[in-house]
Amino acid sequence: MVTEQPYDDVLGLYASLRALFSGDPQELIRLNQTSPEQDRVLQDIHALTHHVRMQETFGGRRKVVEYVPSQFKKAWSDYLKRWSTFVDYYIDNKNWKDDIFRLPPPVIYPDELLPPGDTRFKLPVQKPDPEEESEFDPLIHDGSGILEWIEGYLLNRTEDDPALADGVSNQCGIACDYLSFLRTDLRLDFAGIERRWRMVPLFLRPRHVVEHDLATGLSLSGNLNNAVVAFIFGADKAALALCRATLEMTLREFYVPDLSARPGLKEIVSTACREHELIRENKDRIDHFKEMADKALHRPDIGKVTDMARWERDVERFMELLAILIQSAPDRRGGLRP
């Protein structure tokens, strides 16, 4: 059974998978027959990791998930690189009854040629078909035109049904006026809101990050959630400022917590680079996003954005970097170094 937060289940199944196949994924193509226990684990981990891939790709309805096991990132990356191709091969072949149609064994690539661990891609969404579908699913449906359906329905109820009670008729008219108010006066761009919601990555916050946040009274979680909301509703400058604050807090609290003074972000990044390969690998990206956020905060002319799509993509990439840094945050509890 797939749970709402399947990360503990993935860790358990992955440990069973490695034990059952002696830590060698190629055993899956050497075996002529699997045991019932092996088959059950393969079936379960295939279904569960498909669910996790869907969450990674589309973000699900929640964009910030708390209390993810700290071991999950490493195990997930290892599964994607070493095991997923072989598990998929086993399941795909199991679905064919006739050996004539068996798929060829998967190609084994050297580590340097493996695809990156980020499995996110853009889902081609479409408007729901009311002739075939009865529910709205934000993961597969484009809802930008649905409000027009509602308005059309309300107007028809008002104009085409003379027997409609005056109170109900007034309700329909008021609802149409309210939708117009949201679009015109409040300038809510519903299509833009939905598009940016899809752009936000999934933030997996490990248990030690959540517990440190709560114990110290930090606003890391609040900053992160507010950054997501600000970006979704088109407040890009606010989103950048909150992302910058989240970046500084994450680096200071988890990557270089031994600093006695309260240096600025530039000094924090320099120190973190000396201690962490992950920060060194992403220093150019960190510097780029820091400069973007600084301009948004301190230069009034930054508001003259000529390429909004590129601007939004930059904020999205900033959030993707934050998601990596938060999920990879060292666990310093007990004074232990990572």
pLDDT in tens, 263-302: 788 899 999 999 999 999 999 999 999 998 888 777 656 5
**Share above pLDDT 90 across residues of the chain, in percent, rounded to a whole number:** 19
Q: pTM (2 decimals)?
A: 0.71
Q: HSE-up of 192 (CA within 13 Å, CB side)?
A: 15
Domain boundaries, the chain: 7-113, 146-191, 201-335
Among residues 288, 291, 277, the alpha carbon closest in space to that of 325 is found at 277
Q: According to the per-residue pLDDT averaged within each range, which of 123-137, 177-191, 277-291, 323-337 is highest?
A: 277-291
pLDDT tens for 4-54 read 467 888 889 999 999 999 888 888 777 777 888 988 999 888 888 777 766
Does residue 76 register a pLDDT over 90? Answer: no
DSSP state of 66: E
The span from the CA of 94 to the CA of 102, in Å, is 9
The pLDDT score that the predictor gives to residue 304 is 61
Question: Average pLDDT, whole number, for the chain?
Answer: 78
When pLDDT is averaged across residues 60-81 and rounded to a whole number, the result is: 80
When pLDDT is averaged across residues 203-217 and rounded to a whole number, the result is: 88
Q: According to the per-residue pLDDT averaged within each range, which of 49-63, 108-122, 195-209, 293-307 is highest?
A: 195-209
When pLDDT is averaged across residues 241-251 and rounded to a whole number, the result is: 93
pLDDT tens for 58-69 read 455 678 888 888
When pLDDT is averaged across residues 300-317 and rounded to a whole number, the result is: 76
The pLDDT score that the predictor gives to residue 124 is 62
Q: HSE-up of 270 (CA within 13 Å, CB side)?
A: 5
What is the torsional sign of CA 132, 138, 139, 140? positive
**pLDDT band at 121, cuts 50/70/90?**
very low
Does residue 98 register a pLDDT over 60? Answer: no
- The lowest-confidence range among 86-95, 99-108, 231-240 is 99-108
Does residue 113 register a pLDDT over 80? Answer: no
When pLDDT is averaged across residues 165-176 and rounded to a whole number, the result is: 71
Cβ burial, residue 244 (10 Å; 0-12/13-18/19+): buried
Cβ burial, residue 5 (10 Å; 0-12/13-18/19+): middle
The pLDDT score that the predictor gives to residue 17 is 92
Q: Residue 318, SS3? A: helix
**pLDDT band at 319, cuts 50/70/90?**
very high
Does residue 258 register a pLDDT over 70? Answer: yes
**Residue 225: both structure tokens together:** 């959630």
DSSP state of 80: I
Beta strands in 136-221 (DSSP E): 203-206
Does residue 232 register a pLDDT over 70? Answer: yes
Other CB atoms within 10 A of residue 326 CB: 21
- Buried-exposed string 178-217: b where 16+ CB fall within 10 A, e elsewhere: ebeeeeeeeeeeeeeebbbbbbbbbbbbbebbeebbeeee
When pLDDT is averaged across residues 226-244 and rounded to a whole number, the result is: 92
The pLDDT score that the predictor gives to residue 61 is 62
pLDDT tens for 133-144 read 778 777 677 777
